[in-house]
Structure 1
Amino acid sequence: MISSEYCRLMARYNTWQNISLVNAADGLTNADRWKDRGAYFQSIAATLNHLYWADALMLQRLKGNGRPEETITHSLTSPSNWDDFKTLRLQRNEEIEEWTARLVDADLNGTVVWYPGDGSARIERPTALCAAELFNHETHHRGQVHAMLTAAGAKPEPTDLSMVP
Protein backbone atom coordinates (compact mmCIF):
# COMPACT_ATOMS: atom_id res chain seq x y z
CA MET A 1 0.00 0.00 0.00
CA ILE A 2 2.55 2.61 1.15
CA SER A 3 6.22 2.58 2.10
CA SER A 4 8.33 4.09 4.84
CA GLU A 5 9.81 6.45 2.24
CA TYR A 6 6.30 7.65 1.37
CA CYS A 7 5.70 8.36 5.08
CA ARG A 8 8.95 10.36 5.30
CA LEU A 9 7.95 12.39 2.23
CA MET A 10 4.50 13.05 3.67
CA ALA A 11 5.98 14.04 7.04
CA ARG A 12 8.20 16.61 5.30
CA TYR A 13 5.20 17.83 3.30
CA ASN A 14 3.18 18.01 6.51
CA THR A 15 5.79 20.16 8.23
CA TRP A 16 6.14 22.46 5.22
CA GLN A 17 2.40 22.97 4.88
CA ASN A 18 1.80 23.44 8.60
CA ILE A 19 4.54 26.09 8.71
CA SER A 20 3.03 27.77 5.65
CA LEU A 21 -0.39 28.03 7.29
CA VAL A 22 1.01 29.23 10.60
CA ASN A 23 3.11 31.87 8.85
CA ALA A 24 0.09 33.06 6.87
CA ALA A 25 -2.06 33.13 10.01
CA ASP A 26 0.63 35.15 11.81
CA GLY A 27 -0.46 38.16 9.76
CA LEU A 28 -3.99 38.00 11.16
CA THR A 29 -5.23 39.32 14.46
CA ASN A 30 -6.17 36.87 17.19
CA ALA A 31 -9.83 37.79 16.63
CA ASP A 32 -9.46 37.00 12.91
CA ARG A 33 -7.91 33.61 13.68
CA TRP A 34 -10.86 32.75 15.97
CA LYS A 35 -13.58 34.28 13.77
CA ASP A 36 -16.36 31.85 12.78
CA ARG A 37 -15.91 31.43 9.03
CA GLY A 38 -18.56 28.78 8.49
CA ALA A 39 -16.12 25.87 8.26
CA TYR A 40 -16.69 22.52 9.97
CA PHE A 41 -14.74 23.63 13.07
CA GLN A 42 -15.77 27.26 12.52
CA SER A 43 -12.43 29.09 12.74
CA ILE A 44 -8.85 28.90 11.56
CA ALA A 45 -7.58 28.48 15.13
CA ALA A 46 -10.12 25.80 16.07
CA THR A 47 -9.39 23.80 12.91
CA LEU A 48 -5.64 24.01 13.57
CA ASN A 49 -6.24 22.87 17.17
CA HIS A 50 -8.28 19.91 15.88
CA LEU A 51 -5.37 18.91 13.64
CA TYR A 52 -2.91 19.22 16.51
CA TRP A 53 -5.09 16.86 18.60
CA ALA A 54 -5.83 14.41 15.79
CA ASP A 55 -2.13 14.11 14.92
CA ALA A 56 -1.32 13.29 18.54
CA LEU A 57 -4.06 10.68 18.71
CA MET A 58 -3.17 8.82 15.53
CA LEU A 59 0.56 9.03 16.19
CA GLN A 60 0.09 7.48 19.63
CA ARG A 61 -2.00 4.70 18.09
CA LEU A 62 0.71 4.07 15.50
CA LYS A 63 3.28 3.91 18.31
CA GLY A 64 1.26 1.18 20.06
CA ASN A 65 -0.80 3.15 22.57
CA GLY A 66 -4.24 1.54 22.35
CA ARG A 67 -5.84 4.06 24.69
CA PRO A 68 -4.52 7.50 23.76
CA GLU A 69 -7.85 9.19 24.54
CA GLU A 70 -7.12 8.58 28.22
CA THR A 71 -4.31 11.15 28.14
CA ILE A 72 -4.98 13.25 25.00
CA THR A 73 -7.94 15.60 25.21
CA HIS A 74 -9.63 16.94 22.09
CA SER A 75 -10.06 20.68 22.41
CA LEU A 76 -10.93 23.19 19.72
CA THR A 77 -10.07 26.03 22.11
CA SER A 78 -6.74 24.88 23.51
CA PRO A 79 -4.14 26.05 23.09
CA SER A 80 -5.78 29.45 22.95
CA ASN A 81 -2.54 31.45 22.95
CA TRP A 82 -1.17 31.73 19.40
CA ASP A 83 2.50 31.67 20.44
CA ASP A 84 1.88 28.52 22.50
CA PHE A 85 0.13 26.91 19.54
CA LYS A 86 3.04 27.71 17.20
CA THR A 87 5.54 26.12 19.58
CA LEU A 88 3.41 23.02 20.10
CA ARG A 89 2.71 22.64 16.37
CA LEU A 90 6.43 22.72 15.60
CA GLN A 91 7.01 20.06 18.26
CA ARG A 92 4.26 17.85 16.81
CA ASN A 93 5.74 18.26 13.31
CA GLU A 94 9.11 17.12 14.68
CA GLU A 95 7.50 14.19 16.48
CA ILE A 96 5.90 12.99 13.24
CA GLU A 97 9.16 13.39 11.31
CA GLU A 98 11.08 11.53 14.03
CA TRP A 99 8.56 8.67 13.91
CA THR A 100 8.93 8.37 10.13
CA ALA A 101 12.72 8.57 10.34
CA ARG A 102 12.77 5.32 12.36
CA LEU A 103 10.11 3.63 10.24
CA VAL A 104 10.98 0.67 7.99
CA ASP A 105 8.62 -0.87 5.44
CA ALA A 106 8.00 -3.93 7.60
CA ASP A 107 6.57 -1.68 10.35
CA LEU A 108 3.69 -0.80 8.03
CA ASN A 109 2.62 -4.45 7.62
CA GLY A 110 1.13 -4.81 11.07
CA THR A 111 -2.14 -3.91 12.70
CA VAL A 112 -3.01 -0.94 14.88
CA VAL A 113 -5.39 -1.70 17.74
CA TRP A 114 -7.16 0.88 19.86
CA TYR A 115 -10.10 1.29 22.18
CA PRO A 116 -12.12 4.45 21.51
CA GLY A 117 -12.57 6.76 24.46
CA ASP A 118 -16.36 6.54 24.10
CA GLY A 119 -16.33 2.92 25.33
CA SER A 120 -17.21 1.36 21.98
CA ALA A 121 -15.64 -1.89 20.85
CA ARG A 122 -11.97 -2.46 20.08
CA ILE A 123 -10.88 -1.28 16.63
CA GLU A 124 -8.23 -2.93 14.45
CA ARG A 125 -6.93 -1.46 11.22
CA PRO A 126 -3.87 -2.10 9.03
CA THR A 127 -0.91 0.01 10.11
CA ALA A 128 -0.36 1.29 6.56
CA LEU A 129 -3.96 2.51 6.43
CA CYS A 130 -3.57 4.35 9.74
CA ALA A 131 -0.32 5.96 8.58
CA ALA A 132 -2.00 7.10 5.36
CA GLU A 133 -4.91 8.45 7.41
CA LEU A 134 -2.55 10.51 9.57
CA PHE A 135 -1.38 12.40 6.49
CA ASN A 136 -4.68 12.39 4.59
CA HIS A 137 -6.59 13.84 7.54
CA GLU A 138 -4.06 16.67 7.81
CA THR A 139 -4.39 17.44 4.11
CA HIS A 140 -8.19 17.53 4.30
CA HIS A 141 -8.39 20.05 7.14
CA ARG A 142 -5.40 22.09 5.96
CA GLY A 143 -7.38 22.67 2.77
CA GLN A 144 -10.14 24.17 4.89
CA VAL A 145 -7.64 26.37 6.73
CA HIS A 146 -6.03 27.41 3.44
CA ALA A 147 -9.43 28.51 2.11
CA MET A 148 -10.24 30.44 5.29
CA LEU A 149 -6.83 32.15 5.25
CA THR A 150 -7.18 33.09 1.60
CA ALA A 151 -10.65 34.52 2.24
CA ALA A 152 -9.17 36.55 5.12
CA GLY A 153 -6.54 38.03 2.78
CA ALA A 154 -3.59 35.91 3.94
CA LYS A 155 -1.26 34.21 1.45
CA PRO A 156 -0.26 30.63 2.30
CA GLU A 157 2.38 28.94 0.14
CA PRO A 158 1.40 26.64 -2.76
CA THR A 159 0.25 23.18 -1.70
CA ASP A 160 1.68 21.11 -4.57
CA LEU A 161 3.41 17.98 -3.29
CA SER A 162 5.94 18.27 -6.11
CA MET A 163 7.12 21.60 -4.65
CA VAL A 164 8.06 20.23 -1.21
CA PRO A 165 11.45 21.65 -0.24
Structure 2
Amino acid sequence: MTDPAYAQMMARYNCWQNDNLLTAADELDDDSRRSERGAFFGSIEKTFSHLLWADRIWLGRFSDTALPTGGISDSTGLIGDWEAFRQERMQMDRRILDWASHVAPDWFEGDLTWHSGALGRQITRPRAELVVQLFNHQTHHRGQIHAMLTAAGARPSDTDLPFMPEIYRN
Protein backbone atom coordinates (compact mmCIF):
# COMPACT_ATOMS: atom_id res chain seq x y z
CA MET A 1 0.00 0.00 0.00
CA THR A 2 1.28 3.43 -0.92
CA ASP A 3 0.95 5.75 2.05
CA PRO A 4 3.03 8.30 3.97
CA ALA A 5 5.15 5.57 5.59
CA TYR A 6 6.04 4.14 2.16
CA ALA A 7 6.85 7.60 0.79
CA GLN A 8 9.02 8.39 3.81
CA MET A 9 10.94 5.11 3.58
CA MET A 10 11.55 5.57 -0.13
CA ALA A 11 12.52 9.23 0.32
CA ARG A 12 15.14 8.15 2.88
CA TYR A 13 16.32 5.42 0.50
CA ASN A 14 16.54 8.05 -2.25
CA CYS A 15 18.77 10.23 -0.04
CA TRP A 16 21.01 7.29 0.80
CA GLN A 17 21.40 6.08 -2.76
CA ASN A 18 21.96 9.49 -4.29
CA ASP A 19 24.67 10.11 -1.69
CA ASN A 20 26.12 6.67 -2.48
CA LEU A 21 26.29 7.29 -6.22
CA LEU A 22 27.41 10.91 -5.99
CA THR A 23 30.23 9.88 -3.67
CA ALA A 24 31.30 7.16 -6.12
CA ALA A 25 31.04 9.64 -9.02
CA ASP A 26 33.33 12.02 -7.11
CA GLU A 27 36.09 9.45 -7.72
CA LEU A 28 35.90 10.26 -11.44
CA ASP A 29 37.00 13.39 -13.25
CA ASP A 30 34.59 15.55 -15.24
CA ASP A 31 35.53 13.92 -18.56
CA SER A 32 34.83 10.44 -17.17
CA ARG A 33 31.43 11.51 -15.82
CA ARG A 34 30.60 13.11 -19.19
CA SER A 35 31.82 10.24 -21.39
CA GLU A 36 29.29 8.50 -23.61
CA ARG A 37 28.69 5.07 -22.10
CA GLY A 38 25.85 3.65 -24.18
CA ALA A 39 23.13 4.15 -21.55
CA PHE A 40 19.71 5.56 -22.41
CA PHE A 41 20.79 9.13 -21.63
CA GLY A 42 24.40 8.48 -22.62
CA SER A 43 26.61 9.51 -19.75
CA ILE A 44 26.72 9.40 -15.98
CA GLU A 45 26.16 13.16 -15.77
CA LYS A 46 23.31 13.22 -18.27
CA THR A 47 21.54 10.42 -16.39
CA PHE A 48 22.02 12.21 -13.05
CA SER A 49 20.69 15.38 -14.71
CA HIS A 50 17.60 13.62 -16.06
CA LEU A 51 16.85 12.24 -12.60
CA LEU A 52 17.00 15.68 -11.01
CA TRP A 53 14.75 17.07 -13.74
CA ALA A 54 12.21 14.25 -13.33
CA ASP A 55 12.18 14.61 -9.55
CA ARG A 56 11.47 18.32 -9.97
CA ILE A 57 8.62 17.49 -12.34
CA TRP A 58 6.98 14.95 -10.03
CA LEU A 59 7.45 16.95 -6.85
CA GLY A 60 6.08 20.00 -8.64
CA ARG A 61 3.00 18.04 -9.63
CA PHE A 62 2.57 16.64 -6.12
CA SER A 63 2.99 19.95 -4.34
CA ASP A 64 1.85 22.54 -6.89
CA THR A 65 5.28 24.17 -6.99
CA ALA A 66 6.90 25.51 -10.13
CA LEU A 67 7.76 22.92 -12.75
CA PRO A 68 11.06 22.99 -14.59
CA THR A 69 11.00 24.30 -18.13
CA GLY A 70 11.69 22.13 -21.13
CA GLY A 71 10.92 18.54 -21.88
CA ILE A 72 12.69 15.22 -21.62
CA SER A 73 15.12 16.19 -24.38
CA ASP A 74 16.19 19.17 -22.22
CA SER A 75 16.50 17.09 -19.06
CA THR A 76 20.12 16.09 -19.60
CA GLY A 77 21.66 19.55 -19.62
CA LEU A 78 21.32 20.65 -16.00
CA ILE A 79 24.91 20.04 -14.95
CA GLY A 80 27.49 22.71 -15.62
CA ASP A 81 29.47 22.54 -12.41
CA TRP A 82 29.64 19.18 -10.63
CA GLU A 83 29.78 20.60 -7.09
CA ALA A 84 26.84 22.94 -7.75
CA PHE A 85 24.89 19.98 -9.12
CA ARG A 86 25.68 17.93 -5.99
CA GLN A 87 24.23 20.74 -3.88
CA GLU A 88 21.10 20.94 -6.06
CA ARG A 89 20.66 17.17 -5.86
CA MET A 90 20.96 17.15 -2.08
CA GLN A 91 18.52 20.06 -1.83
CA MET A 92 16.00 18.19 -3.99
CA ASP A 93 16.42 15.07 -1.86
CA ARG A 94 15.62 17.14 1.25
CA ARG A 95 12.55 18.57 -0.52
CA ILE A 96 11.31 15.08 -1.39
CA LEU A 97 11.90 13.95 2.19
CA ASP A 98 10.11 17.02 3.53
CA TRP A 99 7.15 16.40 1.21
CA ALA A 100 6.98 12.73 2.28
CA SER A 101 7.19 13.73 5.94
CA HIS A 102 4.24 16.11 5.66
CA VAL A 103 1.92 14.54 3.08
CA ALA A 104 -1.51 13.70 4.51
CA PRO A 105 -2.67 10.08 4.33
CA ASP A 106 -5.81 11.03 2.39
CA TRP A 107 -3.72 12.71 -0.34
CA PHE A 108 -2.90 9.23 -1.67
CA GLU A 109 -6.59 8.44 -2.22
CA GLY A 110 -7.18 10.87 -5.07
CA ASP A 111 -6.18 11.22 -8.69
CA LEU A 112 -3.76 13.65 -10.24
CA THR A 113 -4.32 15.24 -13.63
CA TRP A 114 -1.51 16.90 -15.58
CA HIS A 115 -0.42 17.64 -19.11
CA SER A 116 2.21 15.13 -20.24
CA GLY A 117 4.74 16.74 -22.53
CA ALA A 118 6.02 13.27 -23.44
CA LEU A 119 2.59 12.14 -24.65
CA GLY A 120 1.31 15.56 -25.67
CA ARG A 121 -1.96 15.20 -23.82
CA GLN A 122 -3.69 15.37 -20.47
CA ILE A 123 -3.27 12.33 -18.19
CA THR A 124 -5.10 11.32 -15.01
CA ARG A 125 -3.73 8.62 -12.72
CA PRO A 126 -4.09 7.65 -9.06
CA ARG A 127 -1.73 9.63 -6.85
CA ALA A 128 -0.62 6.47 -5.05
CA GLU A 129 0.50 5.00 -8.39
CA LEU A 130 2.40 8.16 -9.25
CA VAL A 131 4.30 8.13 -5.95
CA VAL A 132 5.43 4.60 -6.83
CA GLN A 133 6.42 5.97 -10.26
CA LEU A 134 8.55 8.70 -8.67
CA PHE A 135 10.58 6.22 -6.65
CA ASN A 136 10.63 3.46 -9.27
CA HIS A 137 11.93 5.92 -11.88
CA GLN A 138 14.73 6.94 -9.52
CA THR A 139 15.70 3.34 -8.86
CA HIS A 140 15.66 2.48 -12.57
CA HIS A 141 18.02 5.26 -13.60
CA ARG A 142 20.23 4.92 -10.53
CA GLY A 143 20.75 1.31 -11.61
CA GLN A 144 22.04 2.62 -14.92
CA ILE A 145 24.30 5.09 -13.13
CA HIS A 146 25.58 2.33 -10.85
CA ALA A 147 26.48 0.19 -13.87
CA MET A 148 28.23 3.08 -15.62
CA LEU A 149 30.16 4.01 -12.46
CA THR A 150 31.27 0.43 -11.96
CA ALA A 151 32.39 0.15 -15.60
CA ALA A 152 34.34 3.40 -15.15
CA GLY A 153 36.18 1.99 -12.13
CA ALA A 154 34.25 3.72 -9.34
CA ARG A 155 32.86 1.60 -6.54
CA PRO A 156 29.40 2.46 -5.24
CA SER A 157 28.45 0.73 -2.00
CA ASP A 158 25.39 -1.38 -1.20
CA THR A 159 22.05 -0.60 -2.79
CA ASP A 160 19.74 -3.10 -1.08
CA LEU A 161 17.02 -1.52 1.05
CA PRO A 162 17.57 -3.85 4.05
CA PHE A 163 21.18 -2.60 4.23
CA MET A 164 20.21 1.07 4.50
CA PRO A 165 22.29 2.55 7.33
CA GLU A 166 20.53 3.62 10.52
CA ILE A 167 21.35 7.27 9.84
CA TYR A 168 18.86 7.15 6.92
CA ARG A 169 16.20 5.12 8.70
CA ASN A 170 14.84 7.93 10.87
TM-score interval, smaller chain: over 0.9
1:140 — aligned with what?
A: 140
State the SS of the aligned residue for 2:95: helix
Question: In structure 2, how many angstroms separate the alpha carbons of the residues matched to 1:121 and 1:40?
Answer: 24
Return the alpha-carbon distance in structure 1 between the equivalents of residues 127 and 115 of structure 2.
Answer: 15
Task: Tell me how far apart the structure 2 counterparts of residues 30 and 17 of structure 1 sit (CA, whole Å).
Answer: 20
> Which residue is equivalent to 1:16?
16
- Secondary structure of 1:157's counterpart equals coil
- 3-state secondary structure, aligned to 2:155: coil
| Paired amino acid for 1:100 | A
The yes-or-no answer on 1:6 pairing with 2:3 is no
Would the aligned equivalents of 1:34 and 1:44 in 2 still touch at CA under 8 Å?
Answer: yes
Distance 2:109 2:150 in 1: 39
Q: Any idea what the Cα deviations from partners look like across 1:62-113, whole Å, max 9, x if unmatched? A: 1146x83xx4333312222101110100000000000001013211111111
Q: Secondary structure at the match of 2:77?
A: coil
**1:38 counterpart residue number:** 38
Q: Is the 8 A contact 1:56 1:72 kept in 2?
A: no
C-alpha contact (below 8 Å) 1:53/1:72 kept by paired residues = no
TM-score by length of 1: 0.92
Give identity over the alignment, percent.
42
User: Who is 1:80 aligned against?
Assistant: 80
Q: How many residue pairs are counted as aligned between the two chains?
A: 162
- Give the CA deviation at 1:118: 6.3
- Give CA deviations for 1:27-64 in whole Å, capped at 9, x if unaligned: 10100000001100110000000000000001111114
Alignment-mate amino acid for residue 41 of structure 1: F
TM-score (norm 2): 0.90
Gaps of 5+ in 2: 166-170
